[in-house]
Chains A and B, each alone.
Chain A
Amino acid sequence: MEQQLTQIKNTISTFICTELNVDAQDIDPEMNLGAYGLGSTAATILTGILEDTYKLKLSPLLVFDYPTIDTLSAAIGEQIKVEN
Chain B
Amino acid sequence: MLQKTKLTQLEIETAVGALPIQDTLALRTWLHPNKKLFTFLDDEGMEDDRFTYLDLWQRAQSVAAYLSTRTAPGDRVLLFYPQGLDFIAAFFGCLLSNRIAVPLSLPNRRRVDKCVSIIVNCGAKVAMLPQKTYDKMEGSFDDTEASDLDWIISDDIPAARLIAIDSVYRSSASLDDVAFLQYTSGSTSTPKGVMVTHRNIALNLQMMRDSWILDAQTDMVFWQPHHHDMGLIMGQLLPILLGNHTVIMSPNTAVRQPAIWLNAVSHYQAKLTGGPNFIYDLASTRYSEERLKGVDLSCWEIAPNGADVVRQPTLERFYSIYKKYGFRMETFMPCYGLAEATLFVTGGPTRQMPQHMEVDKKVLENQRKVVHTENPEVARMLVGCGEPNWDVRVTIADPDSCKECEAGEVGEIWINARTVAAGYWNNPEATQKTFHGMLSNGSDKRYLRTGDIGFIGDDSQLYICGRLKDLIICEGRNLHPEDIEYTILNATEKLKTQSCAVFSYDKDDHKQAIVAIIETDRDLMRSLVEQAKELRSTIGQSITDEHGIGLSQIVFIPPATLKKTTSGKVQRSLMKSLYLNGELEILQA
Contacts and interface: CB of A to CB of B under 8 A. Distances in A.
A26 B554 CA distance: 14
A36 interface: yes
A31 interface: yes
A45 B256 contact: yes
Contact of B540 (A37, A44, A49): A37
A58 to B, nearest CB: 8
A60 B249 CA distance: 14
Contact of B257 (A26, A41, A51): A51
A63 to B, nearest CB: 10
User: Which bucket holds chain B's interface residue count?
Assistant: 20 to 34
Contact of B43 (A42, A52, A60): A60
6 contacts: A37-B544, A39-B547, A45-B282, A48-B255, A52-B286, A60-B256
Q: What 6 A-B pairs come out closest when comparing CB atoms?
A: A37-B550, A35-B537, A34-B544, A48-B256, A40-B548, A39-B549
A20 interface: yes
Given A38-B550, A44-B252, 16 more contacts: A20-B550, A21-B552, A34-B545, A36-B550, A37-B551, A39-B549, A40-B544, A44-B255, A45-B256, A45-B282, A48-B258, A51-B257, A52-B286, A52-B288, A52-B291, A60-B252
Nearest to B537: A35
Contacts, number: 68
Contacts of A52: 286, 288, 291
B159 to A, nearest CB: 30
Contacts of B252: 44, 60
A11 interface: no
Contacts of A44: 252, 255-256
Nearest to A59: B43
Q: Tell me what chain B mostly uses at the interface: helix, strand, loop, or mixed.
A: helix
Contact of B255 (A26, A34, A35, A41): A41
A51 B256 contact: yes
Contacts of B538: 35
B487 to A, nearest CB: 12
Nearest to B543: A37
B548 A41 contact: yes
Contacts of B548: 39-41
B44 interface: yes
A48 B544 contact: no
Contacts of A51: 256-257
B501 to A, nearest CB: 18
A35 B286 contact: no
A67 to B, nearest CB: 9
Interface in A10-56: 20-21, 26, 31-32, 34-42, 44-45, 47-49, 51-52
Contacts of B44: 57
Contacts of B286: 45, 48-49, 52
B174 interface: no
Interface string B278-321: 10001000101001000000000000000000000000000000
Contacts of A45: 255-256, 282, 286
A48 B255 CA distance: 8
Chain B CB count within 10 A is highest, among A45, A49, A57, for: A45
Interface in B550-569: 550-553
B483 to A, nearest CB: 14
B230 to A, nearest CB: 16
B541 interface: yes
Contacts of A42: 550
B475 interface: yes
A36 B551 CA distance: 8
B205 to A, nearest CB: 28
